[in-house]
Amino acid sequence: MVNLAIDIGNKKTKFGLFEGKKLLKFFDFLNEKLNEINFPEDLKGYKIHRCGISSVFPELNIEVQKKVKNFLKIEPILLNYKDCKIKMDIENPEKVGIDRILNCKGGSEIFGYPCIVVDIGTAITIDVVNKNKIFIGGFILPGPELWINSLKDTALIKEINKKKTKFIGKDTSSAINLGMEEGISGAIERIVEKLKERYKISKVILTGGWCDYFKKKLNFEKKVRKYLTLEGINIVISEND
């Protein structure tokens, strides 16, 4: 059985084609270029059973649903927190980003619970599933690009420098980038350390577009699952079949 999972994020819309639990194909588009979207033609060669959409960018929902329906001739499902079938001990669950809920669903189903899920993307979310498999909430921090962009006008730098640098910055650009790396790593490590101690959690799952960049900078044991949100979507639509 083949499913298509779609994650409409803040900057990009990501697509994952799954057969069972296996990710067969991944592709993405910048949201600003979504009107130019062209699905790979070979998608038509798969008998796609279901399509689920997670979105934190509501303005794009109708457009993405329309394109899926026209290209694949199936009706996509726009997921909400109730579809995820995970218990939540939080206020106003309908206002929590669906990506956070899907990360917790995917993380706890794949790796077991309790667990901590760290998603490093446009924003950084750190969420907890407790020993009773209940999503109990978490933390939200600005992501790397937000961190850098907040200083761009002052620093006069044009982009994030991902090149390896020495520990101490020798110019403004490297100082800001190192501040971002060490500041974000330190914040994540501090929060994760407290969560592990308070809730007796050993499992930490790292995901998001920046997870590969930060995985060696974070000094705690973790599982890296870059496409965890897509995996969560696939799990949910499979359960709801």
pLDDT in tens, 222-234: 999 999 999 999 9
pLDDT in tens, 178-188: 889 999 999 99
Q: Give, in order, the Cα–Cα distances in Å from 139 to each of 2, 53, 217.
A: 34, 24, 19
59 vs 1, higher pLDDT: 59
- Catalytic residue, from 99, 127, 153, 171: name it: 99
Q: Record the pTM.
A: 0.92
Average pLDDT, the chain: 91
Residue 76, phi then psi, degrees to nearest 5:
-70, 155
Average pLDDT over residues 49-63: 94
Closest by Cα among 115, 96, 122 to 204: 115
Least confident range from 50-59, 145-154, 188-197: namely: 145-154
What pLDDT is recorded for position 236? 98
What pLDDT is recorded for position 240? 82
What pLDDT is recorded for position 208? 96
Average pLDDT over residues 202-225: 96
Q: Could you give the domains of the chain?
A: 2-78 (3.30.420.40), 88-227 (3.30.420.40)
What pLDDT is recorded for position 41? 85
DSSP-derived letter for residue 1 is -
Q: How far apart are the first and last CA of the chain?
A: 11
Q: Is 99 a catalytic residue?
A: yes
Distance CA 161, CA 178 (A): 9
Distance CA 13, CA 127 (A): 22
pLDDT in tens, 67-125: 999 998 999 999 999 999 999 999 999 999 999 999 999 999 999 999 999 999 999 99
Distance CA 163, CA 201 (A): 34
Residue 133, phi then psi, degrees to nearest 5:
60, 40
Burial 138-167 (b: 16+ CB within 10 A, else e): bbebbbbbebbeeeeeeeebeebeeeebee
Checking if the pLDDT of 161 tops 70, the result is no
234 vs 148, higher pLDDT: 234
Q: How confident is the model at residue 151 (pLDDT cuts 50, 70, 90)?
A: confident
According to DSSP, the residues that pair with 129 across neighbouring strands are: 115, 135
Checking if the pLDDT of 160 tops 60, the result is no
